[in-house]
Chains A and B, each alone.
Chain A
Amino acid sequence: GEDVEQSLFLSVREGDSSVINCTYTDSSSTYLYWYKQEPGAGLQLLTYIFSNMDMKQDQRLTVLLNKKDKHLSLRIADTQTGDSAIYFCAETLPGGSYIPTFGRGTSLIVHP
């Protein structure tokens, strides 16, 4: 079945690293995504990883995928107050309509 789970909140101090975790249940997931939603705005695609990869890095963002544990994480280095937002994990399945299934989102709060 399809189910993507995330913890609801994460609070970090400015300058620290943030790690947002996600677990998914469908082992056939092909692409996994991280989206960011700022207050009053729609979702913005941050990055995605193909399921045959273990890691992807893009500037301050590092995505780690553990297929055995069905665990995806997003690490934000040197977290800034502007990173405060809701972060959504999503997966798409092969052979389907390419519509992502989203987690509930993790609210990241960055303290100065």
Chain B
Amino acid sequence: DSGVTQTPKHLITATGQRVTLRCSPRSGDLSVYWYQQSLDQGLQFLIQYYNGEERAKGNILERFSAQQFPDLHSELNLSSLELGDSALYFCASSALGQGFEDTQYFGPGTRLTVL
């Protein structure tokens, strides 16, 4: 158990809908990362927050947004969902949010299925 929790575990929805994925980082970690894992794209970095502020942006679509709240939990919002958005979405947390030795701890993921 990494200490990172994600809810829900599974989500099934229809095209055009909007969903919210939630992540609670490990106790004491200030930084949260979101990743998308799909069969065709592999593991893609979406976005990073540190202490409530956006720190780095990856391959995140404009239809997707995220935020980190004062209690450090984070939410990833996916809107106007398409079939191709079906994937595993991972959240990871780290203590510092920078530095090569700042280990990221991954949550178990949320499996999103868009029908």
Contacts and interface: CB of A to CB of B under 8 A. Distances in A.
| Same complex origin of A and B | yes
Contacts of A40: 108
A9 interface: no
A32 B17 CA distance: 38
Interface in A7-58: 30-31, 40-45, 48, 50
A44 B48 CA distance: 18
A87 interface: no
A97 B42 contact: no
B25 interface: no
Most chain A CB neighbours (cut-off 10 Å) among B43, B58, B92, B106: B43
Contacts, number: 50
B106 A102 contact: no
A20 to B, nearest CB: 16
Contacts of A101: 45
A71 interface: no
Contact of B42 (A30, A42, A45, A104): A104
Most chain A CB neighbours (cut-off 10 Å) among B2, B42, B101, B108: B42
Given A43-B92, A99-B45, 7 more contacts: A30-B100, A92-B100, A97-B98, A99-B58, A100-B45, A102-B42, A102-B43
27 contacts: A30-B100, A31-B100, A31-B101, A40-B108, A42-B92, A42-B106, A43-B90, A43-B106, A45-B104, A48-B100, A48-B101, A50-B100, A88-B43, A92-B100, A97-B48, A97-B56, A97-B98, A98-B98, A98-B99, A99-B33, A99-B48, A99-B56, A99-B58, A100-B45, A101-B45, A102-B43, A103-B42
Interface of A: 30-31, 40-45, 48, 50, 88, 92, 97-105
Interface of B: 2, 4, 33, 42-43, 45, 48, 55-56, 58, 90, 92, 98-109
Cβ-closest 4 pairs across A and B: A42-B106, A97-B56, A31-B100, A102-B43
